[in-house]
Chains A and B, each alone.
Chain A
Amino acid sequence: MIARNDPVRKRVARELARPTMAASRVMPLLNVEDLRTYFHTRNGVVKAVDGVSFSVDKGETLGIVGESGSGKSVTCYSMMGLIPQPPGRIESGRAIFDGIDLLSCPTPVLRKIRGDRISMIFQDPMTSLNPYLRISDQLIEPLMTHNSDATKDWALGLAIDALNEVGIQDAAKRIHFYPHEFSGGMRQRVMIAMALITKPELLIADEPTTALDVTVQAQILELIKRLQHELGTAVIFITHDLGVVAGLCDRVQVMYAGRIMETAETEGVYKHPKHPYTKALQQSIPSLQPKGSELFTIPGMPPDLSRDIRGCPFAPRCTEAVERCHTEPILLKTVTDGHSSSCLRTQAGEILT
């Protein structure tokens, strides 16, 4: 996507030679520990993310699955410094990316990383592009911002290459179009080109295909897969669609009420779920059952996050819950090799083993 002897590549090479990177080879690319993001509203404190720890390795694809309000987007927005403060506040936690804590580092440092080494794709391509600016201006912006010695012509050349790469034909002409001249799928391609133009080490994709048709979704997923393979970028893929995760992700993390319920290799989560919530989610997907059979439904509603939750947040809706699920605090623990669950009963070996 980017020519051999361009400034970006040189800079990446320079940074690769730095000692911190040598040490980080054994460390994960991103390591999040005990992240808590609360929103202080008039109606109380909403604990949107409440003690989340996970890591992403180089080149790995991590899927974060959960229903709306489970804290999957807030987790990623917190790391990127995109939470409006106030009302939001990051109460505790660390997010170590290549030796730098994204949560506590000064803004100029975060700005250097954001949009360059970590980029993001958002759900709605209609609203995440600026309607007043040509695609060309929006595409070269990250390059111009992150390289002091960049020229506009050089950046434009790269931008055209990037558009070609994401499958937009006639890129040299179309790069001067405005966003409204593209269809939804095309706009999402432009977003992907923009996110990957700086060759980031980590791409955060927040429901990138939810607003698209299935046929276009298939195109975009193939595109992300191919580019990731070529660039070696690690991806955090946020979605509520268990089907999308199955084909794309190496590892899956299921979230509920701001906490991680279960995390494991994709195979493991689908074949042997270790949390009743994951199992219930899978059973409520209509895809495999024929007409007439009753769909499994999870009784009740997700909890109100502004109330204090004692015990497991899923306990009131869980069919397997016992007395202590409502009172004992939960903790994500390894159950079998590489498979962690926060279900007390699974941890005790009583169910789902």
Chain B
Amino acid sequence: MTEPAQTTAPENILELEDLKTHFPVYRGFIMKRQSGTVKAVDGVSLKVRRGEVLGLVGESGCGKSTLARTILQLVPTTSGTVILEGRNLGSFSSRELREARTGLQMIFQDPYASLNPRMTVFDTLAEPMIAHGRCTRSEATREVVQLMETVGLAPRYMRCYPHEFSGGQRQRIAVARALALKPSLIIADEPVSALDVSIQAQILNLLSELTREMNLSMIFIAHDLSVVKHISDRIAVMYLGKVVEIGEATSVIENPQHPYTRALVSAIPVPDPEIEHSRKRIVLPGDPPSPLNPPTGCSFHPRCQHANDGCTKTVPVLEKTTGSQEAACLRLGEF
């Protein structure tokens, strides 16, 4: 096995280069023929710095979750590379991958579905540590107590089953499970979307506290821009499998350059009646196009109010706008 990424600057914990994940679509039952390709992730290049929280936003179906799964090598990559701490995950055997995944953990959206209902909190948290030989069964209790305290759960609930906990507490268990192997990167896929506002605030506080104290890196996936803004250092906006804008969190939200980001920002309801009544909302026409049959040129052009002839032909690439902000739009700065 070659190690092509040895030269990578060490401050980047994760590097994605032109990552593509395509799913073939078949037609017919007996005479199966490939009738098309869903380009769920279509050429994504990203870097996550050590200790950084990268927010990933976009509408449902834009490829956020597929990107997360591709990074974890849960779905096969079509092309491109995933480099975690200087090592190319794509070239790993399944045994090496198993080891590498200990540094890469995931938190899922629905804490009701992501925990095994037949396993107690202790079983759930001890399993990864024992399976990877991080501790023996007898040491596990001490480790589990420590984990539960880290995420704000009382250790006396160690022998309880998931159904005995509320949604917020279950999400804490899921966070503890992700932390069990002391990973360097956590991918959180919509971790607060299923929770109430007051509980959401608790989990957000917990996650930002943990990333700060443990110097964790995190990819935080959500469709709620206000949540993402609160927790992220940088934000990447995805549309139909591509990153259309990326930059510092505050500058992406306050000074969006891509028309899609502008529409997203203006669609967030603001809990202030005065602002709500005075501001002009950009309402995008139509639904996101089908990734099975994406539009030519810029995939956003059918819904874009600034699109012209050029947008229907040329595919835009990410260009620097201001500071470290980048956007993929042919008409940058023209409107």
Contacts and interface: CB of A to CB of B under 8 A. Distances in A.
Interface in A207-243: 213-219, 221-222, 240-243
Interface string A241-274: 1111111000000000000000000110011000
A218 B201 contact: no
A241 B226 CA distance: 12
23 contacts: A67-B196, A67-B197, A213-B288, A214-B225, A218-B267, A218-B284, A222-B281, A222-B283, A246-B272, A246-B273, A246-B275, A270-B272, A284-B197, A285-B201, A286-B227, A286-B230, A286-B231, A287-B226, A290-B230, A291-B208, A291-B229, A291-B231, A298-B198
A285 B269 contact: no
B277 interface: yes
A216 B287 contact: yes
A213 B239 CA distance: 13
A295 B207 CA distance: 12
Which range contains the number of A residues in contact with the other chain?
A: 35 or more
Contacts of B179: none
Contacts of B276: 243, 246-247
Nearest to B254: A290
B264 A297 contact: no
A296 B201 contact: yes
A244 B227 CA distance: 15
A244 B268 CA distance: 9
B204 interface: yes
A295 B204 contact: yes
B202 interface: yes
Contacts of A285: 197, 201, 226, 271
Interface in B18-53: none
B196 A240 contact: yes
Contacts, number: 125
B224 A214 contact: yes
A72 B207 CA distance: 30
B225 A240 contact: no
A287 B201 contact: no
Given A243-B270, A291-B232, A213 B223 contact: yes
Interface of B: 59-60, 166, 168, 196-198, 200-202, 204-205, 208, 223-227, 229-233, 249-250, 263-264, 266-277, 281, 283-284, 287-288
A215 B200 contact: no
Q: Enumerate the 9 nearest inter-chain pairs by beta-carbon distance, A residue then B residue, closest first.
A: A243-B269, A247-B276, A287-B226, A286-B230, A284-B201, A218-B267, A295-B201, A242-B271, A67-B196
Contacts of A222: 281, 283
Nearest to B193: A210
A67 B202 CA distance: 14
A287 B197 CA distance: 11
A295 B273 contact: no
Nearest to A300: B198
A206 B176 CA distance: 34
Contacts of A215: 59, 263-264, 267, 283-284
Nearest to A69: B196
